[in-house]
Amino acid sequence: MHTAIIADDEPWIVEGIKAAVDWAKYGFEVIGDAEDGQAALALIEALRPTLVFTDIKMPAMNGLELIQRGKAVSPDTLFVVLSGHAEFAYAQKAINYGTFGYCLKPFEIDEIHGMLSRIAQHLESSEKKAPTSHSYALYEAICSGDLDRISRLLDKSGMPVSVGTPLVPVVVQGRHTPPAVPGIVCLSFPMSSRRHGYLMEERRKAAFLQGIGGAGRPVEFGVGVGPSLSDVAELDAALEAASLAAYGMFATGRPGVYPAAAAAVERPIEERLREIAKTLERKDRLGFIAAMDSAKAGFRDGALTIKEAYVLYTSVLYLFPREGSKPSGRFFEGYEQLYYRYGTAEAMVDDLTAMTLDSFEEGVEAAEAGISHKKVKEIVLYIRNRFNQELSIQSLAEQFYLSPNYLCQLFKREVGETIVEHISRQRIEYACKLLEDTDLSIYQVGEKCGFHDYFYFTRIFKRYRKMTPTQYRERS
């Protein structure tokens, strides 16, 4: 069954077409409608319909722009323009944008039926013309490790592998439908609902990668390029490497082409995990935030992959029971579930950080119990997560849309101390924790607490604790 969406800002037209047209007769089902172009585009992106009937003049986004942007997110979707006689010139222009056809208002239902009949014939013809491929069978053979069958299928497809004609696997991640590259001979196969594999001769790789974005447009999904291979025994590992590289978009948050990493590349996730475990063990809120921010930077820079993302996610969730907390997250069975759940590593790290910080809340509720003003509670939380950073009354006032004078008065009234005193106290309390639980030098402790001057740190510490940091550590 083919799917259709109707976009028109006149509801009576939408309802009339939905009710009066015999969609099932031509193998169609209406799965959505929209009264403006922006809503229609969202439906196209989410549902990937076979067909869209669209008006020209609509609020938020007109029909011509909808066709252009709709084809970008769903290249296989067909568009038919619903246009009044006064907009005939627009309808003709729409044809140049790649629409299947147009129906002029006021139209007869028979006209819509005729259009659906032609579209159904076109779709049937396209399916018949699609080249017969061993792609499904090939991927099945790769997964099962049947080397003899892989060789036979490659030979039969006219793409034998040898030292003279090495092959290259490419994996596209993040597309419901595989992107087509006209003129490039290759084998394609679905690996999941949003991951597609390709196999081509190495000499065609550059042209394929150049054409995969389409008409000079930048690539809008993740593309992983595996190493070249000259033996069928290398195909499974090469395809796995390409598949992992395609998740580069998840790690960095940026679409594009990602070559497979060399096998010898070492990724410093173990040290980060050790640091995270230490911060959880000693209830070090700021240390945990800093460690997670460091991981986030590693993903953005491409130093860490979805492999490390999976290890990080699973490890942090595993540490919850040891800290007496119940995670709101769940364990995933593989990379793909993690990818579908979060989309990017940054979103995953932010979610992990948010749900883990609940384990640091002991005593916080009591400290905030006397604060009645909602905005002051927000400011206290903001400071608690950033007191080791550069904070000023002016920056806090701008952040929370208050005047500096009013902020100072309000904070002192609600909290019982000035903002500067509150920040200093938070820093000294954190310094005490680090002096007790770590072997960091006094200078390093001061830096981690937001003091970049050793002598100033010592002076402030002595004011609050009546002893120097060194004396405090010796006594502890």
Residue 467 lies in a domain: yes
Residue 264 lies in a domain: no
Question: Do 20 and 94 belong together in one domain?
Answer: yes
Question: Do 145 and 254 belong together in one domain?
Answer: yes
Question: Do 12 and 121 belong together in one domain?
Answer: yes
Residue 80 lies in a domain: yes
Question: Do 23 and 50 belong together in one domain?
Answer: yes
Question: Do 125 and 18 belong together in one domain?
Answer: yes
The reported pLDDT for the residue numbered 266 is: 59
The reported pLDDT for the residue numbered 358 is: 63
Which tens digits make up the pLDDT trace of 252-282? Answer: 999 889 998 765 455 668 888 888 888 887 7
Tell which of 333, 360, 387 closes a domain. 360
The reported pLDDT for the residue numbered 245 is: 92
The reported pLDDT for the residue numbered 130 is: 42
Question: Do 208 and 238 belong together in one domain?
Answer: yes
Question: Do 146 and 243 belong together in one domain?
Answer: yes
Q: For the stretch 313-350, what's the b/e string if a residue is b when 16 or more beta carbons lie within 10 angstroms of its beta carbon?
A: bebbbebbeeeebebebeebeebbebbeebebbbebbe
Residue 437 lies in a domain: yes
Question: Do 10 and 125 belong together in one domain?
Answer: yes
Question: Do 235 and 250 belong together in one domain?
Answer: yes
CA angle 221, 225, 229 (to 5 degrees): 155
Residue 22 lies in a domain: yes
The reported pLDDT for the residue numbered 364 is: 52
Could you list the pLDDT tens digit for every one of the 476 residues in the chain?
788 999 888 888 888 888 888 888 888 888 889 888 889 898 888 788 888 988 888 888 887 888 888 877 777 788 888 876 555 555 555 555 557 777 777 777 888 888 888 888 887 776 544 443 446 788 888 888 889 989 988 888 888 888 888 999 999 988 766 676 766 788 888 887 778 899 999 988 888 888 776 545 667 788 999 999 999 999 999 999 999 999 999 999 998 899 987 654 556 688 888 888 888 877 788 888 888 888 999 999 888 888 899 888 888 877 654 444 444 444 455 788 788 888 899 999 988 887 777 666 554 554 566 677 888 888 888 888 888 888 888 888 888 888 888 888 888 888 888 888 888 888 898 889 889 888 889 988 988 888 888 888 888 899 889 999 999 998 87
Rg of the chain taking only CA atoms, in angstroms: 30
The domain spanning residue 200 has which CATH number? 3.30.70
Dihedral pair phi/psi, residue 28, rounded to 5°: -120, 155
Residue 263 lies in a domain: no
The domain spanning residue 463 has which CATH number? 1.10.10.60
Which tens digits make up the pLDDT trace of 111-144? Answer: 888 888 888 888 777 654 444 344 678 888 888 8
Count structural domains, the chain. Answer: 4
The domain spanning residue 81 has which CATH number? 3.40.50.2300
Question: Do 157 and 112 belong together in one domain?
Answer: no
Tell which of 258, 286, 307 closes a domain. 258
The reported pLDDT for the residue numbered 168 is: 95
Residue 246 lies in a domain: yes
- What's the count of helices (H) and strands (E) in the chain, helices before strands? 23, 10
CA angle 136, 137, 142 (to 5 degrees): 100
The reported pLDDT for the residue numbered 302 is: 85
C-alpha pair distances (Å), 160 with each of 199, 317, 370, 430: 11, 46, 76, 65
Length of the chain: 476
The reported pLDDT for the residue numbered 60 is: 84
| Helix residue ranges, H only, 97-200 | 109-129, 135-144, 147-156
Tell which of 107, 129, 151 closes a domain. 129
Question: Do 98 and 183 belong together in one domain?
Answer: no
CA angle 386, 468, 379 (to 5 degrees): 20
Question: Do 214 and 312 belong together in one domain?
Answer: no
Residue 62 lies in a domain: yes
Q: Print the domain residue range for 336.
A: 269-360
